[in-house]
A = this chain, B = another copy of it.
Amino acid sequence: MDQKPAFGCLKYSEQHAPGVGLTLDISEILASEQSAYQRITFYRNPYLGVFFTLDGYIQLTEGDEFAYHDMIVHPAMAVNPQIKNVLVIGGGDGGTVRELCRYPTIEKIIMVEIDERVVRLSQKFLPSTACVIDNDSRLTNIYEDGLTYIKNSASAQLDLIIVDSTDPIGSGEGLFSREFYHNCHRALNKNGILINQHESAFYPWDGYEMKRANDKIKSVFPIAKVYGFNMPSYASGYWYFGFAAKNLDPVSDIKAEQWQNFGLETKYYNIELHKAAFALPSYVKKLLSE
């Protein structure tokens, strides 16, 4: 034998419940640093491609980010194709603003990300999601706490707020508070829509947080529904977003033809799936109505 083969393999394992987890082989550690807010690590996996974790939780993989970013952006755009003025809180990888920038009718996007290092590292290692950052004149990046930003923002100016945050721990925690939702409500105009992270329902910790978030939003917005999608790299393979609005219903107010006229090719989203995403398994309906 010329050379002894390498038998070691680095593995990243994320626990979703006690003794249940997703395990990803690591072919390369691209970057790992402690920013002012969190530990940021970028890895490469042989199948899912580049992925990164914040404080040890997977945020995004190249392989399935299309589902997440389709579903965080397009449902709101199909309910109100007139959306022009958007605020994104979080979303430092750039995937959410990438999808927003595909709409020529959107005039202004402000992205408020607390941690500039997430943006800079995404630009370096995830150009497929970070591609529009610094490359679209409609987009302004602000590096600030979203909580402070929304508190000081003008009233009734925004058409859409997307909260593309981490889980409700660490730097993301305030983005799941009633005060934050009240400020979003105030900043949105009469057709305003708020889309936010809603965790998952199958594993207990996620389900607990999903219920807490939904209860708070329901107390602030007259319309507050939940929709789901298949996200292979997240706990249980299924993830939820919340759709909250002052007067637009996410299903009965869909403008299917207007949305289709945008002519966007989407790998996950389509109009039938949009409606379907709001149909919840019985145990999820029960969890949210208890």
CB within 8 Å of B: which residues of A?
13, 16-25, 27, 45-48, 64, 66-67, 202-203, 228-232, 234, 236-238, 266-270, 272-273, 275-283, 285
Contact = CB atoms under 8 A, between A and B. Distances in A.
A27 B276 CA distance: 38
Contacts of A238: 230, 232, 237-238
Q: Which 5 A-B pairs have the closest CB atoms?
A: A237-B237, A19-B25, A276-B276, A276-B279, A230-B238
Given A25-B20, A236-B237, A281 B67 contact: yes
Contact of A18 (B46, B203, B229, B272): B46
B230 A17 contact: no
B20 A47 contact: yes
A267 B282 contact: yes
Contact of A281 (B46, B230, B280): B230
Copies of this chain: 2
Nearest to A236: B232
A279 B269 CA distance: 10
Contact of A283 (B46, B202, B267, B279): B267
Contacts of A285: 270
Contact of A273 (B20, B234, B270, B280): B280
A23 B18 contact: no
Contact of A202 (B13, B20, B230): B230
A45 B23 contact: no
A24 B13 CA distance: 11
Contacts of A273: 279-282
Contacts of A19: 24-25, 27, 45-47
Contacts of A16: 232
Contacts of A45: 19-20
A230 B228 contact: yes
Contacts of A203: 47, 232
A269 B230 CA distance: 17
